[in-house]
Amino acid sequence: MHVSGMSLVTLTETFLRNGGPRRWPLISLRFLDNQELLDIVEDVVEVIDDLQQQVYSLDEPDLYVDPDTPFEVYQQEIRECKEWKKNNPEIWQTMFKDELDVETYAFCLLPDTTRAKLVN
């Protein structure tokens, strides 16, 4: 019994009924010489290099942004406090009078870790 499930006799009969080996195309096998093999290998290497370049060019750009330094965070907080004071002068005057300057208030609003880095 053959893998296909047909008996060997049935396979042989089908093979001969379909023309057998005389209907097969004539193929002459020729072995490649060393130069032909080298040319084929070089072509394959070029294709692989091109593919690698395309894959690497598709990489996402580096999206890492350096975090602000503690001093930059403090400067930003001062700008925001000055803007808030300018936009809300009545509230600022009611809450702080003239006893508190913007820089001190901005410093108090900073996170503890940022404040600690600025002090040291």
- Residue 34 CA to residue 32 CA, distance in Å, equals 7
Share of the chain above pLDDT 90, in %: 35
pLDDT digits (tens, 9 = 90+) for 15-50: 666 666 666 556 666 777 888 889 999 999 999 999
- 10 Å CB burial of residue 77 (0-12, 13-18, 19+) is buried
Enter the pTM of the model.
0.48
Residue 114 CB neighbours (<10 A) = 19
Residue 33 CB neighbours (<10 A) = 8
Q: Are 45 and 53 in contact (CB under 8 A)?
A: no
Q: What is the pLDDT of residue 44?
A: 93
Q: What is the pLDDT of residue 18?
A: 66
